[in-house]
Amino acid sequence: MGFDPRALRCLEIIFQNLGQSQLDCMVIKYDDDFKEREPLGTFLKSNIQKLENLIPKEKWNSKLMSVDTVKQLKKSEFMGYSDIIIDISSMPNGVYFPMIKTILDWINSKELLFEKKPINLHVVLSENAQFDGMIMPIGMNDKVTYMYKFGAVLQSEAKKNLSKVWIPVLGENQINQLNKINEEISPKETCPIFPIPSVDPYRTKKLLLEYREFLFDTLDIDTRNFIYSNEQNPFETFRKIYETAKYNYEAFNELKGCHIVVSPLSSKLLCLGALLASYVLLEENCNVGIAYVENQTYDITSTVDFNVVKQNSIPFTIWLTGTVYED
């Protein structure tokens, strides 16, 4: 529940098709009310009012958003439901990455069942890569960290000295993040992912111009390392990262192996693909982690028409696990 104009789009669509009576809601709230940064404060109030009109406030199960949000989740809160729908439209990566992994772990270990059947886990979002590129981090921490639940192996003393293969998923306005992560991990190989095809056919060209100095002067990267993935297909991004990780595992095998470091710094569907690839690689006991720099809050780069943003956003649903995958 933030300022993002896409925050309620998917919920409104669900209500149009399902009705309110069958749906309970957990609301993840920012601790920043954005009052000092208009029009963000006004739009947050509008979103809260719209949600109250959909679901009475006394029926909200509210939690304060932070990197520790996932630690507040209790398995019992998800018992008795056939479907769990996580709307990531206005959620930071540092919240929804560990949240999805936690719930997937519960479902895959059969700790969460509905009438002895697997629970259906859906991720929904209202995608607008152009607007994602306008959201700016504020108050970036100095320290690079591995995302909760995506980095324990990389931080183990026995494996700290392994070579790093870095897969940054590139998005706009992330040069400070890229520099900090590069300095922290000192990768032996870097394989950046660019969005092709994209709704904006010039998006990759713009990213190359934005990061030209970093890619070619700082990293001295070979363009053969560039990876291209469909901006709106998270499963293609999943495959590209998974295949790149497996290839490098084999290539570094004679050098005692490597760490795969993923940095999701782009629009939502590309980042979701990075999440899925990291999850599966961890399931296969690979050395993989998600490196990022935590941000304290967010702002937008310029004044935009939020109604236009909402209208130009495309709703997506991704069915991650459940009855549709039963044999």
- DSSP assignment of 112-136, as one string? SEETTEEPEEEEEEEE-HHHHTTEE
- Residue in the structure block whose two tokens are 């890619």: 215
Over pLDDT 70: what percentage of the chain?
93
Within 10 angstroms of residue 257's Cβ, the number of other Cβ atoms is 14
Give the 3-state secondary structure of residue 206. Answer: helix
- The larger pLDDT score, comparing residue 41 to residue 66, is at 41
pLDDT of 67 above 70: no
Pick from 101, 106, 156: which is nearest to 282 by CA? Answer: 101
Helices (H), 87-202: 93-108, 129-132, 175-185
Q: What's the whole-number mean pLDDT along residues 50-54?
A: 89
Q: What is the pLDDT of residue 153?
A: 61
For residue 66, the model assigns a pLDDT of 66
User: Domain 9-128+312-325 classified CATH 3.40.50?
Assistant: yes
Where does CATH 3.40.50 sit in the chain? Answer: 9-128+312-325, 140-300
Higher-confidence residue: 313 or 159? Answer: 313
pLDDT bracket for residue 302 (50, 70, 90): low
pLDDT of residue 155: 61
Q: Is the dihedral of CA 28, 30, 34, 35 positive or negative?
A: positive
What would the CATH number be for the domain defined by 140-300?
Answer: 3.40.50
pLDDT value of residue 70: 79
Q: Rounded to whole angstroms, how far apart are CA atoms 134 and 303?
A: 10
**Higher per-residue pLDDT: 93 or 271:** 271
